[in-house]
Amino acid sequence: MSDNLRRYRAIRQSIKQLYPKEPTGNLARHLSTLADLISGIVGSKSTHLPQVASKVPDAAKLDSRVKRFTRWVSNNNIDAETCFLPYVR
């Protein structure tokens, strides 16, 4: 298992522990993308989306991952600052 995958799984598991029930639907997708972003930021030691996307263990093309991250960060229904706050500390 690669370091990127190991890191992603640990982050995703930590995020899921914050919820009393297994997240489903949009919430599950949003949390998965959040775990991807955090894992990529930690792995790449950068916040530039192409570099972040290169460290995410995903079968999707690099450009597709960058677009997904861009859409997630631009989504008005998601407060990225609140999502990242626990990990910044």
pLDDT tens-digit map of 3-61: 889 999 999 998 888 888 988 998 889 889 999 999 999 999 998 999 999 999 888 99
Range of the domain at 58: 3-88
- pLDDT of 88 > 80? The answer is no
Q: What is the DSSP string of 11-62?
A: HHHHHHTTSSS---HHHHHHHHHHHHHHHHHHHHT---HHHHHHTS--SS-H
**Count of domains for the chain:** 1
**38 Cβ partners below 8 Å, 6+ apart?**
11, 84, 87
Max distance between CA atoms of the chain, in angstroms, equals 35
